[in-house]
A and B are shown apart, each in its own frame.
Chain A
Amino acid sequence: MKSLTEDTRLSAEAYAERAGTRKAFFTDTSICIGCKACEVACKEWNRNPQDGNLEVLGSSYDNTGELGANTWRHVAFVEQDKDRIEKARESGRKLVNLGIPSVGPPSQGGPGPAGAGQNGTAPPDTAEFRWLMSSDVCKHCTHAGCLDVCPTGALFRTEYGTVKVQEDICNGCGTCVGGCPFGVIERRDEGIIRAKTERAQSQYAQEIPNPGTANKCTFCYDRLVDGQTPACAQTCPTTSIKFGDREDMVEQARQRVAELHKQGMTEARLYGANPNDGVGGTGSVFLLLDEPEVYGLPPDPRVPTKDLPRMYKQAVMAASGMIAAVGLSFVLGARR
Chain B
Amino acid sequence: MVEKPQFSSYYGRAVVKAPPWGDEIAAYLFLGGLAGGSSLLSLGAQVTGSRTLQRNARLTALGAVGLGTVALVHDLGRPERFLYMLRTFKITSPMSVGSWVLTSFSTGAGVTAAVEVDRLTSQRLPLGPLRPVLYALEGPAEAQTALLAAPLCSYTGPLLSNTAVPTWNAARDELPFVFVSSAALAASGAALVSTPVRDTQPARALSALAAVGDVISMKLMKQRMHPAEAEPLQTGAPGTMLKWAERLAVGGAAGAVLLGRYRAPAVASGALMMGASALTRIGILRAGIASARDPRHTIEPQKARLQARQADGVVHDSITTAG
Among the listed stretches A16-24, A90-98, A111-119, A241-249, which one makes contact with chain B, having 4 or more residues with CB under 8 Å of it?
A90-98
Q: Please report the C-alpha to C-alpha distance between residue A318 and residue B182 in the assembled complex, in whole angstroms.
A: 12
Contact of A100 (CB < 8 Å), options: B10, B158, B321: B321
Interface residue? A153 (CB, 8 A): yes
| A316 at interface by CB-CB < 8 Å | yes
A193 interface residue (CB < 8 Å to B):
no
> Known: A171-B84, A258-B323, A318-B154. Contact between A335 and B201, CB under 8 A?
yes
Contact with B along A261-286 (1 / 0, CB 8 A): 10000000111111011110010000
B318 close to A (CB within 8 Å): yes
Complex Cα–Cα for A317 and B181 (A): 12
Find chain B residues with CB under 8 A from A57 CB. Answer: 11
User: Taking the nearest CB of chain A, how far is it from the CB of B249, in angstroms?
Assistant: 15
Establish whether residues B302 and A257, one from each chain, have CB atoms under 8 Å apart when the complex forms: no
B322 contacts A by Cβ under 8 Å: yes
| Contacting residues, chain A, for B292 (C-beta < 8 A) | 178, 183
Q: List 28 A-B pairs, Cβ < 8 Å.
A: A102-B322, A152-B84, A170-B84, A171-B82, A173-B85, A181-B164, A183-B292, A187-B77, A212-B76, A258-B323, A277-B319, A293-B10, A294-B9, A294-B10, A298-B16, A298-B298, A298-B299, A298-B302, A301-B319, A310-B173, A322-B150, A322-B153, A322-B184, A325-B184, A327-B44, A329-B202, A329-B206, A330-B47
Closest B residue to A327 by beta carbon equals B44
Residue in B closest to A139 when the chains form the complex, CB atoms:
B319
Given A270-B321, A312-B158, A327-B44, are A170 and B299 neighbors across the interface (CB < 8 Å)? no
Contact: A152 with B88, CB < 8 Å?
A: yes
Chain B neighbourhood of A325, CB < 8 A: 184, 206, 209-210, 213
Is B323 a contact of A186 with CB atoms below 8 Å?
no
Q: Is the CB of B319 within 8 A of A321?
A: no
Interface assignment of A106: CB less than 8 Å from any CB of chain B: yes
- With A170-B78, A172-B76, A321-B180 known to touch, is A299 a contact of B17 (CB < 8 Å)? no
- A159 within 8 Å of B (CB atoms): no
User: Which residues does chain A contribute within 8 Å of B204, judged by CB atoms?
Assistant: 333
B residues near A279, Cβ cutoff 8 Å: 319
**Which of these, A5, A257, A305, A318, contacts B177 with CB under 8 Å?**
A318
Query: For residue B15, which residues in chain A have a CB less than 8 angstroms away from its CB?
Result: 182-183, 293, 296-298
Contact yes or no, B40 A322, CB < 8 A: yes
Are B93 and A151 neighbours in the complex by a CB distance under 8 Å?
yes
Q: Which of B62-70, B110-118, B309-317 contacts A (4 or more CB under 8 A)?
A: B309-317
Question: Please, which residues of chain B bring their CB within 8 A of the CB of A292?
Answer: 319-320
In the bound complex, how far is the Cα of B96 from the Cα of A305, in angstroms? Answer: 14
Q: Which residue of B lies closest to A335 (CB)?
A: B201
Q: Is the CB of B84 within 8 A of A314?
A: no
* In the bound complex, CA of A321 to CA of B204 (Å): 17
In the docked arrangement, what's the CA distance between A330 and B169, Å?
A: 35
Contact status B92-A274, CB under 8 Å: no
Contacts of A33 in B (CB 8 A): none
Contact among A102, A179, A312, A322 with B164 in the assembled complex (CB-CB below 8 Å): A179
7 A-B pairs closest in CB distance: A172-B77, A212-B77, A296-B10, A178-B163, A101-B321, A333-B201, A333-B202
Whether A66 touches B303, Cβ cut-off 8 Å, given contacts A100-B321, A307-B172, A312-B158, is: no
Contact digits for A202-244, partner B, Cβ 8 Å, 1 yes 0 no: 0000000001111000000000000000000000000000000
Tell which of B18-26, B128-136, B235-243 binds the partner.
Answer: B18-26
A105 proximity list for chain B (CB < 8 A): 323
Q: How far is the CA of A66 from the CA of B15 in the complex (A)?
A: 9
Residue of B173, B315, B318 near A300 (CB, 8 A) is B318
Q: Which residues of B contact A (CB under 8 A)?
A: 8-11, 13-21, 37, 40-41, 43-44, 47-48, 75-79, 81-82, 84-85, 87-88, 90-96, 99, 150-151, 153-155, 157-159, 161-165, 168-169, 172-177, 179-181, 183-184, 188, 200-206, 209-210, 213, 292, 295, 298-299, 302-303, 305-306, 310, 315-323
In the complex, the answer to whether A182 meets B16 with C-beta atoms within 8 Å is yes
Report the minimum CB–CB distance from B37 to chain A (whole Å): 8
Whether the Cβ atoms of B176 and A323 lie closer than 8 Å is no
Closest-CB distance, A132 to chain B (whole angstroms): 10
B8 touches A291 (CB 8 A): yes
CB distance from B225 to the nearest CB of A (A): 14
The answer to whether B165 and A178 touch across the interface, beta carbons within 8 angstroms, is: yes
Is the CB of A53 closer than 8 A to any CB of chain B? no
Say yes or no: A330 contacts B44, CB within 8 Å: yes
- Tell me which residues across on chain B come within 8 A of A4, comparing CB atoms: 91-92
Q: Which of chain A's residues 65-107 have a Cβ closer than 8 Å to chain B? A: 65-66, 68, 76, 78, 92, 95-96, 98-102, 105-106
Binds B, one of A40-48, A121-129, A142-150: A142-150
**Cross-interface CB contact of B319 among A188, A272, A329, A330, cutoff 8 Å:** A272
Q: Does A295 contact B (CB under 8 A)?
A: yes
Residues of A within 8 A of B85 (CB): 151-152, 171, 173
B205 in contact with A187 (CB, 8 Å): no
Question: A56 in the interface, Cβ–Cβ < 8 Å?
Answer: no
B157 contacts which chain A residues (CB < 8 A)?
311, 314-315, 318
Chain B residues near A68 (CB, 8 Å)?
17
Least CB separation from B92: chain A residue? A148
Say whether, besides A171-B82, A298-B16, A311-B162, A321 and B323 are in contact (CB < 8 Å): no
Whether the Cβ atoms of A314 and B176 lie closer than 8 Å is: yes
Other than the known A6-B92, A58-B11, A294-B10, what 7 A-B pairs have Cβ atoms closer than 8 Å?
Answer: A62-B11, A171-B81, A214-B77, A279-B319, A296-B10, A298-B15, A318-B157
Cβ-defined contact, B76 with A189, below 8 A: no
Please give, as numbers and ranges, the residues of chain A lying within 8 Å of B14 by CB-CB distance: 66, 183
* Given A149-B93, A333-B205, A304:B47 Cβ within 8 A: no
Give the distance in Å from the alpha carbon of A58 to the alpha carbon of B179 in the complex: 42
